């Protein structure tokens, strides 16, 4: 496999990591090549859709990869990543199509989707890949901001989409409304609960937000600060990033659940591979390129976890299948540790049940891979490094 490149001679984000860790470039080249080789496993050529997941299953004749379900969000995310690769690479993955064609198909399907996140991602992808805007989809973003409860991730994607589409449509009202929604529901620590408002969740877990609930608002605030010139938004993004970095694991782990009140870790596991190789790099680069703090050392540490993970002997990067396995989790009844952590911290901030790591140790590899994970990997690392990030 050869590493894909979006623009010959363009300085990429992996290039600017050399001052921090000279091994990153080689690792990124390996992973981006793997992503291009792996994405066809999740693609349905007949419809131009992407699966919900690709799962490694054991059969009498050996191990096989099994595609399951369909996910509109993941189609847009995969297309955003593939758009950073060459036309040849896109057509190889997409059975002759380009990323732009997948974006158009996703936008058509988003017209009738009730999922705010899918609509937002379609707007974002149309803007960045097709340099265009779909007025009906932008209007739907406005409708989602009508006062209803929204998942934090969806609200952040609406803001990012409105920023992306601002060159092709008047989205200033969407930017302002989505910014207000996010800013008004941040916890005291600057971190976020899972739903806006938090009261829309069960009381015992209203304070809890996932890693995704932090990084997508971070990204949205950073990008909105560039568009609007509002430095307070950049400082909000800095606050989120500093807290996540402060509690990053010793081996580079980006933990799973956080307390929006004080920024502490509610539940560490699972550790998701996509957080390590794609999501954290993507948003922390966006922050730095917007004029915020430089967290390249933390990016390198998190990426290193893929190969130096202390929790399991098994490899997470499967060269054989061209996939990165989804996560390392606990040996536990389904979501038991998450519920215990949420309940104990709802009673008292920072309260954790002693002995949980011994009773429910980490050590289970989830052998599935979702296409957005590989799409975000490409998007995070093949995006050109912007001038604001120059040393």
Whether residue 9 is contained in a domain is answered as no
Q: CATH number, domain at 178?
A: 1.50.10.10
Neighbours of 92 (CB within 10 A): 17
Rounded Cα distance, 274 and 181, in Å: 27
Whether residue 199 is contained in a domain is answered as yes
Whether residue 278 is contained in a domain is answered as yes
Q: What is the number of structural domains in the chain?
A: 1
Angle between helix axes 116-130 and 152-165 (nearest 10 degrees) is 30
Rounded Cα distance, 345 and 376, in Å: 32
pTM above 0.85?
Answer: yes
- The alpha carbons of the chain give a radius of gyration, in whole angstroms, of 20
**HSE-up of residue 27 (Cα within 13 Å, Cβ side):** 22
Whether residue 8 is contained in a domain is answered as no
Per-residue pLDDT, 102 = 98
Decide if 254 contacts 271 (C-beta within 8 A).
yes
| Residue 337 lies in domain | 15-389
Per-residue pLDDT tens for 70-93?
A: 999 999 999 999 999 999 999 999
Whether residue 3 is contained in a domain is answered as no
Whether residue 376 is contained in a domain is answered as yes
Per-residue pLDDT tens for 208-239?
A: 999 999 999 999 999 999 999 999 999 999 99
Angle at 194 between CA 190 and CA 196, to 5 degrees: 80
Per-residue pLDDT, 86 = 97
- The single-letter DSSP state of residue 270 is P
* Residues ≥6 apart with Cβ < 8 Å to 308: 251, 252
Whether residue 344 is contained in a domain is answered as yes
């Amino acid at each position: 496999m050869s590493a894909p490149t979006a623009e010959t001679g363009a300085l990429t984000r992996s290039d600017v990591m050399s001052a921090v860790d000279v091994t990153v470039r080689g690792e990124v080249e390996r992973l981006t090549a793997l992503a291009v080789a792996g994405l066809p496993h999740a693609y349905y050529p007949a419809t131009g859709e992407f699966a919900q997941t690709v799962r490694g299953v054991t059969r009498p004749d050996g191990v096989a990869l099994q595609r399951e379900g369909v996910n509109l969000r993941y189609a847009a995310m995969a297309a955003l990543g593939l758009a950073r690769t060459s036309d040849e690479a896109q057509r190889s993955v997409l059975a002759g199509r380009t990323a732009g064609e997948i974006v158009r198909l996703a936008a058509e399907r988003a017209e009738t989707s009730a999922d705010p996140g899918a609509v937002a991602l379609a707007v974002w992808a149309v803007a960045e890949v097709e340099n265009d805007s779909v007025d009906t989809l932008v209007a739907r973003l406005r409708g989602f901001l009508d006062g209803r409860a929204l998942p934090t991730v969806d609200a952040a994607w609406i803001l990012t989409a409105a920023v992306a589409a601002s060159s092709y449509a008047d989205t200033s009202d969407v930017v302002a409304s989505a910014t207000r929604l996010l800013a008004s529901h941040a916890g005291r620590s600057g971190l976020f609960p899972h739903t806006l408002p938090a009261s829309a969740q069960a009381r015992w877990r209203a304070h809890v937000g996932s890693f995704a609930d932090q990084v997508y608002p971070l990204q949205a605030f950073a990008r909105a600060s560039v568009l609007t010139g509002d430095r307070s938004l950049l400082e909000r993004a800095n606050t989120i990033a500093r807290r996540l970095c402060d509690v990053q694991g010793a081996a580079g782990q980006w933990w799973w659940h956080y307390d929006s009140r004080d920024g502490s870790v509610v539940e560490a596991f699972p550790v998701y591979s996509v957080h390590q190789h794609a999501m954290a790099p993507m948003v922390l680069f966006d922050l730095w390129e917007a004029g915020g703090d430089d967290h390249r050392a933390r990016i390198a540490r998190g990426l290193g976890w893929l190969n130096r993970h202390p929790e399991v002997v098994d490899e997470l990067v499967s060269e054989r299948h061209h996939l990165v396995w989804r996560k390392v989790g606990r040996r536990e009844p389904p979501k038991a540790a998450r519920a215990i952590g949420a309940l104990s911290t709802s009673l008292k901030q920072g309260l954790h049940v002693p002995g949980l790591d011994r009773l429910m140790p980490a050590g289970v590899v989830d052998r599935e891979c979702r296409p957005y994970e590989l799409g975000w990997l490409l998007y995070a690392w093949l995006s050109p490094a912007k001038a604001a990030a120059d040393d």
